[in-house]
Amino acid sequence: MDVRSAPLLQLVTAGQPKKPTFTRPPAQLRGALARRTPLDPKTDKALIRKGDALLAAAEDEARETAAAARKANRSVAYLRRRPLDHAEACYERLRAYQNPRGLVSRWLGSGRRAALFVGPSRTGKSTAAYAICNEANDDGVWVEAWTAFDLWRTLRSEGDDGPCWSRVTSCDLLLLDDLGRERVTDAWREHLTEIMEVRWARRRRLIVTVNTPPDPEGAYRRLVDPVDQGGYGYGDPVVERILAGGGLVIFDGPPFRDLVADW
Ligand SMILES: Nc1ncnc2c1ncn2[C@@H]1O[C@H](COP(=O)(O)OP(=O)(O)OP(=O)(O)O)[C@@H](O)[C@H]1O
Ligand SMILES: [Mg+2]
């Protein structure tokens, strides 16, 4: 926009509708704009320059304000969606076998693009994943944390051009929690493949948790094999894309179980 065509109101409030904080245009310029008298490029050069600078500053400020608001909204959305159980998850609370050789606590700072947390049920995989997500969110990283089931259900109704699709393909860090609890259909396999591909192309990070046997080969087979052979049925293309540029963390400690035998 050029200052010569900017109405006064817009010039003063652009980007800050509630509380304009930037400098008001000089009285002479305000007068000219209010009267809508055209400024003369020959005689009003300085005025036009000043007005253009003010407009540029207003536009910069509007962009920064919008970016800050987007960041804050994403963080709030993460905190709202996060299960209560994982609100306190942090590296310090993880047991040694949930953070073998610091693989979990070092992952954010490492070059590994993806992390696949595998192992038997209740060994603390989701908690370890949320320890990373909580840390990343505190650092201002855009985190989206979804259970595979919720994502499957949401994409089934929204398809691949809704807000959920754009969030999970664009965010800096995606947690896909508890893979294997949703129904693995052809449409879901295609969605997963596409999400992984887009994120790979954008170099975005990914954490996946899934219940499997506690060894690399057993975990891989469980993910890939068809359902009638005891697997989840994701097939090679999906699993290879999840693993691309990533690493495996095996959770094989004792399960967290509180078996109550009396009350
Ligand atoms: N370090 C820890 N200290 C105390 N409780 C923990 C710890 N890690 C996990 N838990 C608790 O143990 C339970 C199981 O943990 P979590 O859900 O992370 O395991 P999981 O391997 O993801 O299990 P699932 O098979 O259900 O997906 C949860 O109630 C969790 O709060
Ligand atoms: Mg879990």
> Could you tell me if the CB of 189 is within 6 A of ligand 1?
no
- Predicted confidence at residue 50, as pLDDT, reads 84
- Predicted confidence at residue 28, as pLDDT, reads 66
> Could you tell me if the CB of 95 is within 6 A of ligand 1?
yes
> Could you tell me if the CB of 123 is within 6 A of ligand 1?
yes
pTM tops 0.85: no
> Could you tell me if the CB of 86 is within 6 A of ligand 1?
no
- The CA dihedral of 45, 47, 50, 53, to the nearest 10 degrees, is -70
9 DSSP 8-state letter: H
- Predicted confidence at residue 129, as pLDDT, reads 98
Cα–Cα dist 95/253, whole Å: 9
230 DSSP 8-state letter: T
Name the residue among 195, 196, 197, 221 with its Cα closest to residue 210: 221
For ligand 1, atom 8: residue with the closest CA: 124
Structure tokens at 83: 């299960």
For ligand 1, atom 26: residue with the closest CA: 122
- Give 251 Cα–ligand 2 centroid separation in angstroms: 11
Name the residue among 201, 190, 238, 209 with its Cα closest to residue 113: 201
- Give 218 Cα–ligand 1 centroid separation in angstroms: 21
Structure tokens at 186: 């052809």
Phi-psi category of residue 15: left, alpha or beta, with phi > 0 → left and psi -120 to 50 → alpha: left
- Predicted confidence at residue 207, as pLDDT, reads 97
Q: What angle do CA 190, 147, 154 make, to 5 degrees?
A: 55
Tens digits of pLDDT across the chain (263 residues): 555 555 444 444 444 445 555 566 667 667 666 766 677 888 888 888 888 888 899 999 999 999 999 999 999 999 999 999 999 999 999 999 999 999 999 999 998 999 999 999 999 999 999 999 999 999 999 999 999 999 999 999 998 889 999 999 999 999 999 999 998 999 999 999 999 999 999 999 999 999 999 999 999 999 999 999 999 999 998 999 898 888 999 999 999 988 788 88
Cα–Cα dist 46/259, whole Å: 79
Cα–Cα dist 205/103, whole Å: 15
Q: 179: number of CA atoms within 13 Å, CB side?
A: 29
Cα–Cα dist 210/85, whole Å: 18
> Could you tell me if the CB of 124 is within 6 A of ligand 1?
yes
Residue whose CB lies within 8 A of the most ligand 1 atoms, among 95, 118, 123, 126, for a mutation test: 126
112-131 as b/e, with b when 16 or more CB fall inside 10 Å?
A: ebbbbbbbbeebbbbbbbbb
Residues 6+ apart with CB under 8 A from 166: none
- Predicted confidence at residue 14, as pLDDT, reads 45
- Give 252 Cα–ligand 1 centroid separation in angstroms: 12
Residue whose CB lies within 8 A of the most ligand 1 atoms, among 94, 104, 127, for a mutation test: 127
Cα–Cα dist 181/72, whole Å: 31
- Predicted confidence at residue 127, as pLDDT, reads 98
